[in-house]
Amino acid sequence: MAFLTLEGLVKNYGTFKAIDGLSLEVQHGEFVALLGPSGCGKTTTLQSIAGFVQPTEGRIVLDGRDITHVRPEDRGLGIVFQSYALFPHMTVAQNISFGLEMRGVAKAERAKRVVEALDLVRLGGLGERYPKALSGGQRQRVAIARALAIRPNLLLLDEPMSNLDAKLREEMHIELRAIQRELGITTILVTHDQVEAMTMSDRIAVMQRGRIVQIDTPFEAYERPHSPFASAFLGKTNAFAGAVQLRNERCCHVQVRDTLLHVPHEDRSLGQDVNVYIRPEKIRLTEPGLGRINGRIALRVFLGNLWLLAVDSHFGLVHLTQPNLGHVPPAEGNEVGLDWSDDDLRLLDREAAHGQV
């Protein structure tokens, strides 16, 4: 039995469909990310679960209880808002104990739980400060502590890291994930940052135009995207247009320019127009002539932990990355060969590509 179920959610604003038939099942203790570009409906979905938006159609069931029409103050969820939404006129401790006060928790017990919450987010000792005197990262931790102090059965995170700088964000991803694992609390994260989604979640629900287009573990979603949209949204990729020349049950041969590519595990009709995808990290540099195709290095950029290269070939501009293992790849202008393993090729119908990202 799923812990949280969204059934056929629809939200219309006039003629605009913010949520267009969305269904989702989340298991107890699971961390699910709603990932998508702005306008895809992920925030509206979160706000529906929270109760600030009333869905036009559909049901929301939490732990066996239908909460679709329950008022937000009666749902008992923990929410971390994008702007943190700390009460500016209350101290950190007062912020955290507010939810407990609303639940009638006794004063002594409240004080104890506030200390616990502050220790959980590693802000011990800052209880008497006002939000104004805290840094962005500290405010975020207070927001998290405040949401968790009430021991909710569901935690909602609305793009909580978007206001932090890159380094802090990375740290918080890991820390928040650790807290969630430790408490075992069911969590829904809304984000447009695919690294964030992949770092923290057990499953990613990719959203586009009010619907979930794919829901998978981070590895599956990245390695086997179901659509060009999902493919492009999760990481970078190379796409080569071609047509199917040969096929059997086990693989396809796709003609891309003058090269025949062998794509295992895929099946398409003969002559069908398709795109062949391969991720940049799956391509290797070799000597010219020793790879599948040849090319000339057009761009070489060093990013610290890896090299970013763009190679001009008869397939077009091919992007690849190479981990920084100590040796420097050839400079711009040099001829190289490109190689890969057939298992790393993916196939998606070209028709599905039109009109998408």
Partner 1 sequence: MARYDAEHVGAAPWLLSGPALLVFIALLLAPLLLTALLSLNLFSDTEGVLPVYSLGNYIEVFKDDYFHEIFLRTGSMALAVTVLCVLLGVPETIIIARMAPRWRSTFLLVVLGPLLISVVVRTLGWAILLGNNGLINDALQGLGITDEPVKILFTQVGVIIALTHVLVPFMVIAVWATLQRLDLQVEWAGLSLGASRLTVFRRIIVPQIMPGILSGSIIVFALAASAFATPAIIGGRRLKVVATAAYDEFLGTLNWPLGAAIAMLLLVANLIIILGCSKLAERRFKQVFE
Return residues touching partner 1 (CB under 8 A): 50-52, 71-79, 81-83, 85-89, 98-99, 102-103, 130, 132-133, 146-147, 150
Cβ-based nearer residue to partner 1, 77 or 188: 77
- 3 state SS of 295: strand
The 8-class DSSP code of residue 151 comes to -
Output 143 or 297, the one with its CB closest to partner 1.
143
> Which ranges of 103-193 would DSSP assign to H, the alpha helix?
107-120, 136-149, 166-183
CA distance 281 to 262: 19
Find the shortest distance in angstroms from Cβ 81 to partner 1.
4
Extract the tokens encoding 157. Answer: 């995170």
Residues 21/45, Cβ–Cβ less than 8 Å = no
Closest approach, Cβ 164 to partner 1, in A, equals 17
| Shortest distance in whole angstroms from residue 301 CB to partner 1 | 36
How far is Cα 321 from Cα 206, in angstroms, rounded to an integer? 25
Residues 6 or more apart in contact with residue 317 via CB below 8 angstroms = 298, 310, 311
Minimum CB distance to partner 1, residue 90 (Å): 8
- Angle 353-354-357 (CA atoms, 0-180°, nearest 5)? 70
By beta-carbon proximity to partner 1, the closer residue of 88 and 326 is 88
Which sign, positive or negative, has the C-alpha torsion 117, 122, 126, 129? negative
Q: Which is nearer to partner 1, 18 or 100 (CB)?
A: 100
288 Cβ contact list (under 8 Å, min separation 6): 294, 335, 336, 337
> DSSP string of 196-248?
HHHHH-SEEEEEETTEEEEEE-HHHHHHS-SSHHHHHHSS--EEEEEEEEEE-
Residue number with CB closer to partner 1 (80 or 200): 80
Q: What are phi and psi of 252, to 5 degrees?
A: -125, 155
Minimum Å gap between C-beta 71 and partner 1 is 8
In whole angstroms, how close is the CB of 168 to partner 1 at the nearest point?
21
Q: Which is nearer to partner 1, 150 or 252 (CB)?
A: 150
Which residue, 52 or 219, has its beta carbon nearer to partner 1? Answer: 52
CB of 221 to partner 1, least distance (A): 29
Cβ closest to partner 1, residue 129 vs residue 292:
129
- Shortest Å distance, C-beta 73 to partner 1: 5
- For 326: left if phi > 0, alpha if psi spans -120 to 50, otherwise beta; the answer is left
Rounded CA-CA distance 133/89 in Å is 12
